Amino acid sequence: MEFNHISVLLDESVLMLGVKDGIYVDGTLGGGGHSELILKKMSGGRLIGIDQDTDAISAASERLEEYKDKFTAVHNNFSNIKEILRELNIEEIDGAILDLGVSSHQLDEGSRGFSYNKDARLDMRMNKEQPFSAYELINTYSESDLKRIIYAYGEERFAPAIARNIVAEREKKPIETTFQLSDIIKKAMPKEARQKDKHPAKRTFQAIRIEVNREIEILEGAIRDFVSVLKPGGVLSVITFHSLEDRIVKTVFNDLASGCICPKNFPVCVCNKKPIVKLYNKKPIVSGEEELRNNNRAHSAKLRGIIKL
């Protein structure tokens, strides 16, 4: 299947990097949209493209074949940025971009088990080589753990009922497919809620995907590690697609950009905390009207950036 993915906030996120002939990292390579625009702006230098999905690595490598002298694809998770750069004998980078969340390709390819609109075995692994999938999660997590992740990562108010239904149904037989799970979720929700939502399973599927791929768990540490390998003046550009991701990015960015945290009544600073970065933008950049018309994924996208001091 062709790797179809339209990059959101493409021009804005790459413009933020201020690309020159340096070393850049696309931590979420996907179909290679951001990488291609970065490479077009470089006459020299190097771009490292990281993705844990081998389909993305293959598709982007083919798309960027003409830039192979400047482009290196790495099958890994961006949270391992320090280890990746160490293996490539790179100490510092000039900029990096992270386009978080699931790709259009992963949703569209039914066999990957990400979508509630296509029936397939429960999977949702971005890295197909990892053993833990949505099937194991749904059939082994306790009711309290299911409730916790559905509420925390899906912001689903019917999480207790959904978790209870999942446990009750799997006692009869294992829950194996996306349609099975979707039906269980629907039955746990009041009729009015099912009719009101675009799809009643949307938030629960998001929560399961985030847990399977440890998306939230790794995010804060990954941001701090990227900042640690940026050169002074280097930029980190991050695109988020739901409020939980955006809150984490905003909080970490603000912490890195803040100085003294001593109580106001202290006559002198004793914490010695200094800003490490400055905010590129205080308010998130969002998509314009044209992009919103052409790309449904753009509606929830937010772009934030920081500059290493």
In a domain, 3, yes or no: no
Does residue 100 sit in the same domain as residue 16?
yes
Strand-by-strand arrangement of the 93-99 sheet: 71-75, 46-51, 23-26, 93-99, 230-240, 302-308, 277-279
- Confirm whether 111 is domain-assigned: no
pTM: 0.91
Q: Which domain holds residue 289?
A: 10-105+215-308
CB of 35 within 8 A of CB of 59? no
Residues 98 and 244 in one domain: yes
Asked whether residue 194 falls in the same domain as residue 254, the answer is no
Q: Which of 155, 180, 212 is the last residue of a domain?
A: 212
Give CA–CA dist 63/102, Å, rounded: 20
User: Are residue 299 and residue 230 in the same domain, yes or no?
Assistant: yes
Q: Single out the residue in 212, 234, 262 at which a domain terminates.
A: 212
Q: How far apart, in whole angstroms, are the C-alpha atoms of residue 277 and residue 258?
A: 8
Q: How many domains does the chain have?
A: 2
253 with 204, same domain: the answer is no
**Is residue 98 one of the residues assigned to a domain?**
yes
* 95, 234 contact by CB (below 8 A): yes
What are the distances in angstroms from CA 228 to CA 75, 130, 213, 234, 309?
Answer: 21, 27, 24, 10, 11
* Any domain includes 81: yes
Domain limit, last residue, from 212, 228, 263? 212
Going residue by residue through the chain (309 aa), what tens digit of pLDDT does each one get? 455 567 899 999 999 999 999 999 999 999 899 999 999 999 999 999 999 999 999 999 999 999 999 999 999 999 999 999 999 999 999 999 999 977 777 777 778 999 899 999 999 999 999 999 999 999 999 999 999 999 999 999 999 999 999 999 999 999 999 999 999 999 999 988 776 657 899 999 999 999 999 999 999 999 999 999 999 999 999 999 999 999 999 999 999 999 888 888 998 999 999 999 999 999 999 999 999 998 888 999 999 999 999
Could you tell me if 37 and 176 lie in one domain?
A: no
Same domain, 223 and 288: yes
